[in-house]
Structures are given as structure tokens and as C-alpha cells.
Amino acid sequence: MITVQHLQKSYGHGPSAVRALDDVSIEVPEGEVFGVVGRSGAGKSTLLRTVNLLERPDSGSVSVAGTELTSLNGSALRAARRQVGMVFQHFNLLANRSVQQNVEFALEAARVPRGQRAGRASEMLDLVGLADRGRAYPAQLSGGQKQRVGIARALAARPKVLLSDEATSALDPETTESILDLIARLNRELHLTVLLITHEMDVVKRICASAALMEHGRIVEQGRLVELLRTPGSALAGQLFPLAAPGPGDGPTVIDITFAGGTADRPVIAQLAREHRLDVSILGAVVERIGGTQAGRTRLSLPVQGEAAAAVVADLRRQGLIVDWLRGGEAA
């Protein structure tokens, strides 16, 4: 549905130029929620704005629903952009227009006939749970309600793709949950393809099936979350399940065990202690559901090292578990 290939984008010229995108390629399958995560300045917003060509890349290509947007200009580009809706962090509502009129404005821009606008806007407001707020003005709404209006406006022209630019960053935790639930429901009910950017790993864990990690304008890692969790040394998996660094008194060998899918509910640690006759210490653990799959990470301290520790790790890996050394063994 969305194919981005080898995007380059710089701001400025000469030695002082800032490279915002450096050979960025991603692919978002139809009907999927795909997250791009990274710190401020990583290039996430620039990437998102190139998908609907609010920012035109210096080189590379962007295709949405089989149409290469980077080859279009003028009216052809404007028509293609109607397939892409966008939700902004700070809502961007028109203060002097009612909620209904804000949604109708998007339909006016999409050149929907006047006689169809009111009905379509009411339909979208009902879809996002604001059927009774059409006559209200933005100043009368909560932050969550404003974002729901923004989502209704983005979906008014019935796009195939929804872009979310840090849509929950300005909201409190409870409201963030409700907006994420709404996006997930729209993804299911409308078979909507969603590309969202965020710096919050909780957003990725909550609704994304796949994700990409950006650093300094480059994609460091990308893929389906469940597969990344099963990849030894995955940077994204490590950020999804952050645990405090081991301390000096935590034993000669420290390992992380990552669980995903069918391995998450097995008594691995009890079995490990019993079969290897070890007093295993649990230094930390996180268990959550990601993409509908039970997953987590447990950090263990082993009172052995060398060949004895290697035997423990080999046994765990034979069981299909992902094991990363933090101290001793392969980390030494």
C-alpha cells in the first residue's frame, strides 16, 4: 500500500546542510498499522510528510496504492493526495468554524459536491463518537475530542491511508488510550492502512503490527514486531522491553531471555533452576501483549560462568528462546 524507496532529503546547502532522510526505504502492507519510532530529530516527521509530498524528497520514490506520487505534479498530485488523510499532533482545527464545519472544510477542499458534505461530515462524526457535538466549536472541546474531530476530518474524503503525526503526544494517558483504541477500530472496520510516527514505545506496543526504528535520518531496523522480538540483539525489541542495566553485584553472568508467542507461558525459569541445579536470580521482567501475542523479556543473573553458563544458554536456545548475553559469555 505504501512503498518508500531510497529517500534522500536535506535542508540547506554545503557543509552546513542537514540530512533529514538518508536512503530511507519502508514498505507498509495494505490494512496494517505501521509505526515509525525514534527520538526527536531522527527524521520521523520529514519521512511522514514525504509520504503525501507535503515535503518533496531530493531523490527516491513514494508510491501509495500503486500510484507513484513523486512522479506527479499539479492537479494530478492533488487528486492522488485524496487517498491520504493526515492527523496532526496539535489538531489544526479552524477556531471560527464549528465541529461540523471543520469536517466539511476537508470535503470542500476535496471538491465533494456541496449537497453531499453535510451528510458525509455527520457520518464521520458519528464514526468517531462525536455525533452530538457537530454544533460545538473547538474551544468547547477537550483535547481528546479535538483529536477525534481531526480524525473525522482526515477520513472525510474516504482515503485509503491515514498518516498520524504524533497524534497522541499532546494528550493525557487516559485520552491517549481512547484515541489509540479508536485508530485500531478504524483500521479494522475500514481496512485502513495507518502509518504513524511516535517517540512513545507504548504507542507501538499498543496498536502496531510492524515498526521501524529511525536514528539520524536512517532506518536502523524494521519488521513485524513479533519477528523482531525473536531476533537476537534487536535494538527495537530492546526498547520495547527496557530493563535497567545490571549492577556490579548482579553476578558473573547476566542474560536476557525474550519470550514471544507460545514460549511466553512456559515455566522456563523454574525448569532452568531445577535441571541445572542453579540458584537463578531474576533482575527484572516485563510481560505484555504485542500485536495480539503474549511477549516479554526477563533478565537473569546466573551464579556460573564460562562453559557452565554457555551450557545454560545453549539449553534455552534449543527451546526456541531468544537469549542475549549482557555479562559473561558472548558479551565479554
pLDDT for 13 = 85
* Tens-digit pLDDT profile for residues 294-314: 888 899 999 999 999 999 999
Residues of the chain with CATH 3.40.50.300: 2-229
Residue 332 confidence (pLDDT) above 50 = no
Strand, coil or helix: 216? coil
pLDDT for 196 = 96
Instruction: Give me the DSSP letters along 153-209.
Output: HHHTT--SEEEEESTTTTS-HHHHHHHHHHHHHHHHHHT-EEEEEES-HHHHHHH-S
Residue 185 has a CB neighbour count (10 Å cut-off) of 14
* Tens-digit pLDDT profile for residues 176-186: 999 999 999 99
Main-chain dihedrals φ then ψ at residue 225, nearest 5 degrees: -60, -45
List, in sequence order, every residue forming a beta bridge with 3; answer none if it has no partner: 27, 63
Quick one: cell of 197? 510516527
* Tens-digit pLDDT profile for residues 115-174: 999 999 999 999 999 999 999 999 999 999 999 999 999 999 999 999 999 999 889 999
Residues of the chain with CATH 3.30.70.260: 241-331
pLDDT for 309 = 92
- 2-229 belongs to which homologous superfamily? P-loop containing nucleotide triphosphate hydrolases (3.40.50.300)
44/101 Cα distance (integer angstroms): 31
- 241-331 belongs to which homologous superfamily? ACT domain (3.30.70.260)
